[in-house]
Amino acid sequence: MSDDELKDFYRWLVTLRLLDQRAWNLQRQGRIGTYPPYSGQEACQVGTAAALEPEDWICASYRDWAALAYRGVPLSYPLLNSMGHPDAGKIPESINALPVQVVIAAQTLHAVGLAWASQLQNQDRVAVAFCGDGATSQGDFHESLNLASVIQAPVIFVVQNNQWAISMPVSRQMHSKTIAQKALAYDIEGIRVDGNDIIAVYQTVKKLAAQVRQGGGPVLIEAVTYRLGAHTTADDPTRYRSQEDDRRLSQGEPIGRLQRYLRDAGLMSDQDFAAVDENAKTKVDEAVEAAEAYPKSDPESVFSHVYAELSEPLKDQRTAFRQTVQPGGAKLG
């Protein structure tokens, strides 16, 4: 990789970390709703997104805003999403990504579908599904691997093993020694990568994407990382993980590592790092401003965008909703 590419990675990681921290604070101030932080997982997400071609598909979960941002989704989107705004699901036309998925592992199926479509249309697009360690216990995940294997779909499953599924540690989630080994049953390639090392993630995905694109069949990547914070703003991890483990496992986090690398290689100085921080602050301020200036959503939109036609129970709920909630969200009491 060129020096400029590495410096660009650093700028992205720092900006995205700051955005994540700001989102947390905004939730604490009551300015956004529940938010799932991705701090610690930026290298997995940016490293993967950077290794793809622009027309490749990304199918992300609620925690993958860093990947989407790198692809060009505005930084205000994760904030809008946590304001409950349906427009956070309107990915700009020029970006091949699906709206973030909250149903665990469902996006892995969508990725296989997109990869299959690419195959049928003789395109050489690859689809990437991000999911978590917990998602590998879902049926959808195994159905996705099986179908992808049967049809040799051009799909890459990127499992971010952040050690936790809410309060459930990996050790209680599965008896398998690794997540990568789950590929074996489907006779596809499975590989483990240091998910806190952005260069390793980038190079792994770059190599495998080329292989997948040339018809080599699906692959499963286990990116080993650590969720630095809580599951969401509604969670308190001090209730289920020790401070000692937390301190030890946080040490490998991706930004400090890239910073040390850039400093040791003489590519960036303290002054350069400070300039990156300053620039990140401006970008994040702008994102917050954009999200807060965005026209508020109509609360009734909670009934839109899922079904083309509402079922009778949902129609009843909408009628009740109209009787109790004024436009703009204020309760009649």
Ligand X SMILES: Cc1ncc(C[n+]2csc(CCOP(=O)(O)OP(=O)(O)O)c2C)c(N)n1
Is-contact 43 197, C-beta < 8 A?
yes
Work out whether 182 is an interface residue with ligand X (CB under 6 A): no
| Chosen from Mg ion, ligand X, none, partner binding at 196 (C-beta under 5 to 8 Å by type) | none
191: three-class secondary structure by DSSP: strand
> Is the Cβ of residue 125 or residue 227 nearer to ligand X in the bound state?
227
The residue length of the chain stands at 333
Q: Which of residues 106-125 bind Mg ion (CB under 5 A)?
A: none
CB of 162 to Mg ion, least distance (A): 4
Indicate the angle between helix axes 3-28 and 270-293, nearest 10 degrees: 50
Would you count residue 166 as binding ligand X (CB under 6 A)? yes
d(CA 61, CA 253): 21
Would you count residue 135 as binding ligand X (CB under 6 A)?
A: yes
135 binds, among ligand X, Mg ion, none (CB under 5 to 8 A by kind): ligand X
Q: Looking only at residues 207 through 236 of this chain, which bind Mg ion when binding is defined by CB under 5 A? A: none
Structure tokens at 200: 């390793």
Alpha helices by DSSP H, listed for 161-231, are: 170-173, 198-211
Question: To 10 degrees, the CA torsion angle through 229, 44, 132, 230?
Answer: 0
Strand order in the sheet with 189-194: 57-59, 127-132, 155-161, 219-224, 189-194
132 lies in the site for ligand X, by CB under 6 A: yes
Closer to ligand X by Cβ: residue 305 or 322: 305
Q: Which two tokens stand for residue 188?
A: 């596809």
Instruction: Check binding of 99 to Mg ion (CB under 5 A).
Output: no
Footprint (CB under 6 A) of ligand X, residues 56-85: 63
Residue 223 Cβ, how far from Mg ion at the closest point, in Å? 11
Q: Give the 3-state secondary structure percentages of the chain, helix then strand then coil, rounded to 5.
A: 55, 10, 35
Give yes or no for a contact between 119 and 71, defined as CB atoms under 8 angstroms apart.
no
Active-site pick, 17, 63, 125, 231: 231
Distance between CA atoms of residues 78 and 45, nearest Å: 15
Q: Does residue 227 have an active-site annotation?
A: yes
Q: Between residue 211 and residue 270, which ones bind ligand X under the rule CB under 6 A?
A: 227, 231
Q: Which residues contact 288 (CB under 8 A, 6 or more apart)?
A: 22, 26, 76, 79
Our CB check for ligand X shows the closer of 66 and 288 to be: 66
To the query of whether residue 240 is one of the catalytic residues in this protein, the response is yes
Site for ligand X in 265-324 (CB under 6 A): none
Sole binder of ligand X in the list 76, 162, 196, 204 (CB under 6 A): 162
Say how far apart CA 242 and CA 229 lie, in whole Å.
13
| Whole-angstrom Cα Rg for the chain | 20
Catalytic residue selected from 240, 248, 305, 322? 240
Q: Between 82 and 160, whose beta carbon lies closer to Mg ion?
A: 160
Name the one residue in this structure whose structure tokens are 């990116």. Answer: 223
Q: How far apart are CA 155 and CA 69, in angstroms?
A: 21
Instruction: Please report whether residue 197 would count as binding Mg ion according to CB under 5 A.
Output: no
Instruction: Using CB under 5 A, count the residues that bind Mg ion.
Output: 4
User: Smallest distance from the beta carbon of 241 to ligand X, in angstroms?
Assistant: 13
What residue 149 binds from ligand X, Mg ion, none (CB within 5 to 8 A, per partner kind)?
none
- The answer to the question of residue 132 lying near Mg ion (CB under 5 A) is yes
- 62 labelled catalytic: no
Active-site residue set: 227, 231, 240
Which residues make up the interface to Mg ion (CB under 5 A)? 132-133, 162, 165
Which residues make up the interface to ligand X (CB under 6 A)? 63, 102-104, 131-135, 162, 164-166, 227, 231
